[in-house]
Amino acid sequence: MEIARAIGVVFTHMLGDGRSVIDPETTIWTAEAAEELRARIGDNPIVGKDQGQWEKLDRQLQGASREVVLLAAELVFLREHAIRSARPETRRAHVDRVLTHLDSPLAIPAPMSTWLARPAGTAGFEPGSWYNGALWRHVIWASTFVRHWDGLSEAERESARTDPWELQRVMLTSGDDRSDIRNALQFLARPDVFEPISSASMKVKIRNGLADRIGGASGDTPGSIDRDLLAIRAALAHEIEGPFHFWTPGVAELWDASRADLALTAAEIGELAEPRPRHYWLYSPGPQASEWDEFSSSGIMAIGWDELKDLATYPSRESIRQALDVEGTGGSLRNDVLAVWEFQNEIAVGDIIYAKCGRREIVGRGEVTSSARFEPGRTSYRHVRSVKWTHTGSWEHPGDAAIKTLTDITSYHDYVENLEELIADEEEPELLETPTPLPAYDKAAFLKEVYLSEEQYERLRSLLARKKNVILAGPPGVGKTFAAKRLAYSIMAVKDPSRVQMVQFHQSYSYEDFMMGYRPTQTGGFTLAEGPFYRFCEKARADDTDRPYFFIIDEINRGNISKIFGELLMLIEADKRGQELRLLYKNETFSVPSNVHIIGMMNTADRSLAVLDYALRRRFGFFEMTPGFHSAGFTRWQQDAGSPTLDRLVEVVIDLNKTIADDPALGQGFAIGHSFLSSPPDDATDDEWLYSVVEDELIPLLDEYWFDEPTTAEEWAGRLRAAVA
């Protein structure tokens, strides 16, 4: 609310005298300026992926009047002001970029400079790439609203200035609705009424999950949903002490059942869990879609197995199997048990459902909006979830669909993309890849989880920013893979797994696996298939260039680098980003976007590895990761553990590492990492897990290191065993 109230003067001018905040002597909130801005973008679209949205806006603003440039700058400021993860330097750079189109330079005034300096992660909402990449759509909608506002009578405008619901009505009637930017501006204009949530589907999800607190939902129009959310907030205020938002621990679990276990786990381990990605499901609404008419009209999905009672009462798959196996045959009933279990426990709000009829027809697509519930009053199909069916009709399924009632198809990326393309309208659905709000993540969180010093972190972050490509090299157990993903999160300032992808190289990995190549089809022919790096780059290219993406390669030195990267060896260089080369298998040019970063991992203790390709060395920065036993993070964890056995073992391992480092046949690259001693299993009792680490992990490793010096291996094995005795 504070960040919205701070900029209230912008809306005072927008809805009042029309003057600019950046240049108060210029009137910008007029129908004429708005229409010119809308026409420059809406009537002059620039298609293609060869330029980003900011480059396209630069071209569209060339020669624009002072009023139009200032209007564009203030709209750019408004659309980014409430983004929680947006960095202050990025937001300011975007406003400055628009202002360069003025005939004479103009400095951003002090008040706006203060607003733009707000640190990332302090307040606001967390939109997805559909918001960040829709600059042109947002400017068109906002311009249309300004033009519409200017045409209202003074009485109508005064009514909207004083009544937030009238302001919303005016926004909705100004033209084709664009809910994400409208929701953002509603919040900024009236933070006392509207929630800081840009996603319309998220608002529905929260409202539906808490509607019981206000006697049920009042409707599905934008106004009804926002009124319900306001009433829900008022109701919750009687239950919760102090300020709260809908993702406050203890509140989020009320509307999102899947968060209850997550919150408990996070509280126990003292850290935020990984966000769950959106899942995609293939579902049969009865044999040959016999129940589809009822389910689609009622906004539900349901499954049979009516002999079962409330599915929430079955604690395990085995309990479901026993309930279904009434004759005690001992059969697995695998598909039935899996469907029932997944319907109750695995599907989450925000998941996408494709309804099918038989094996050859898709009849609908929808988004899950509720947790599972038991409706004993129904004559059949009593296990139910609410679904917002976004598409209904008839589409020919590509090939034969699975015959099961419920199938999780999330991991079949090509299949999901084919279904989306088959069904979706020309307008892309506003869906986050990770539908739940993403937890913030910063340097402090990184240093708590990854055992590096603050100085090492800053050096690593700077190296990645400069080179775009970094290799984390080190012995086993120093947390290279763990650190790579956390480094990405810390730079993004949010745990967003949708912008991180990981592959693992091996001796047989090729350009065709990595970039693209021909794959055999079921009919005996071949088809050109795009690889993970190509797809990842195209995904990053479609997003805001200021939003970083991270491609992580495990065991990067196990692959034949020249064979795998091909022409990409030039394109991944930091100063070659954006340059294009013609692809080997496709008649198109390709470039690696500037917002794609590559993080490789290399195990320095693997004897089977050849010398690293020099072409790769020149294009990557190398960061040596060493055991972090002396880091502040590990020391704090060790103190919290309060285990004398752990303390003794750590001291022995530190001494062991000195011996390994001094051994000319081994060296520092073969040291024992801290990860061996920092991850007790959940079911560990006392220090028994440390004994297992020594006997089953460390001693076999030393036997391998000193296979030709058994006396040395035995000496250190004895010292390790004595530490845990």
Q: Looking at residue 612, what is its pLDDT?
A: 58
Alpha carbons within 13 angstroms on the beta-carbon side of residue 323 total 19
**Range with lowest mean pLDDT among 196-205, 394-403, 422-431, 683-692:** 422-431
Confidence of residue 682 (pLDDT cuts 50, 70, 90): low
State the chain's mean pLDDT as an integer: 87
Distance of CA 66 to the CA centre of its chain: 38
**Residues 52, 582, 46, CA angle at the centre, nearest 5°?**
25
Percent of the chain past pLDDT 70, that is, above it, reads 92
**Distance separating alpha carbons of residues 519 and 84, to the nearest angstrom:** 42
Confidence of residue 28 (pLDDT cuts 50, 70, 90): very high
Q: Are 397 and 362 in contact (CB under 8 A)?
A: yes
Mean pLDDT of 487-500: 91
Nearest to 631 by CA among 428, 405, 435, 447: 447
What is the four-CA torsion angle of 455, 471, 490, 499, rounded to 10 degrees? Answer: 170
Q: Are 484 and 472 in contact (CB under 8 A)?
A: yes
Q: Looking at residue 257, what is its pLDDT?
A: 64
Confidence of residue 86 (pLDDT cuts 50, 70, 90): confident
Copy the structure tokens of residue 37.
């801005």
Q: Looking at residue 72, what is its pLDDT?
A: 96
Q: Looking at residue 273, what is its pLDDT?
A: 57
Q: Looking at residue 434, what is its pLDDT?
A: 60
Mean pLDDT of 314-325: 90
**Range with lowest mean pLDDT among 266-270, 611-615, 633-637:** 266-270
Q: Per-residue pLDDT for 561 more than 80?
A: yes
CATH number of 280-424: 3.10.590
Q: Which residue has the tokens 């509280």?
A: 267
Confidence of residue 706 (pLDDT cuts 50, 70, 90): very high
Q: Per-residue pLDDT for 4 more than 70?
A: yes
Q: Where are the domains of the chain?
A: 1-179+187-196, 199-270, 280-424, 443-624, 632-724
More confident residue, 156 or 611: 156
Q: Per-residue pLDDT for 265 more than 60?
A: no
Give tens-digit pLDDT for 33-71. Answer: 999 999 999 998 887 666 778 989 999 999 999 999 999
Q: Per-residue pLDDT for 381 more than 90?
A: yes
Could you tell me where the beta strands, DSSP code E, fall in 312-445? 352-357, 361-368, 373-374, 383-396, 406-408
CATH number of 443-624: 3.40.50.300
Copy the structure tokens of residue 101.
């189109």
Mean pLDDT of 633-647: 81
Confidence of residue 613 (pLDDT cuts 50, 70, 90): low
Nearest to 29 by CA among 144, 111, 150, 141: 150
Nearest to 139 by CA among 239, 210, 54: 54
**Distance separating alpha carbons of residues 485 and 554, to the nearest angstrom:** 11
**Distance separating alpha carbons of residues 7 and 270, to the nearest angstrom:** 36
User: Model-level pTM?
Assistant: 0.66
Q: Looking at residue 402, what is its pLDDT?
A: 84
Copy the structure tokens of residue 395.
């589409």
Confidence of residue 527 (pLDDT cuts 50, 70, 90): confident
Q: Looking at residue 113, what is its pLDDT?
A: 94
Q: Per-residue pLDDT for 660 more than 70?
A: yes
More confident residue, 418 or 69: 69
Confidence of residue 433 (pLDDT cuts 50, 70, 90): low
Percent of the chain past pLDDT 90, that is, above it, reads 50
Mean pLDDT of 125-135: 77
Q: Are 478 and 627 in contact (CB under 8 A)?
A: yes
Q: Looking at residue 610, what is its pLDDT?
A: 46
- Buried-exposed string 415-442: b where 16+ CB fall within 10 A, e elsewhere: bbeebbeebeeeeeebbbbbbbbbbbbb
Q: Per-residue pLDDT for 264 more than 50?
A: no
Give tens-digit pLDDT for 434-451. Answer: 656 778 888 888 988 888
Q: Looking at residue 366, what is its pLDDT?
A: 92
Contacts 24+ apart (CB under 8 A), 118-123: 118/3, 118/88, 119/88, 120/84, 120/85, 120/86, 120/87, 120/88, 120/493, 121/84, 121/85, 121/440, 121/442, 121/493, 121/494, 122/3, 122/84, 123/2, 123/3, 123/82, 123/84, 123/196
Q: Looking at residue 272, what is its pLDDT?
A: 46
Distances (CA, A) of 235 to 183, 219, 311, 526, 582: 22, 18, 30, 60, 60
Copy the structure tokens of residue 131.
């918001």
Q: Looking at residue 431, what is its pLDDT?
A: 52
Q: Are 351 and 278 in contact (CB under 8 A)?
A: yes
Q: Looking at residue 202, what is its pLDDT?
A: 85
> Which of the listed ranges 300-304, 478-482, 639-643 does the model predict with the highest average pLDDT?
300-304
Q: Looking at residue 589, what is its pLDDT?
A: 87
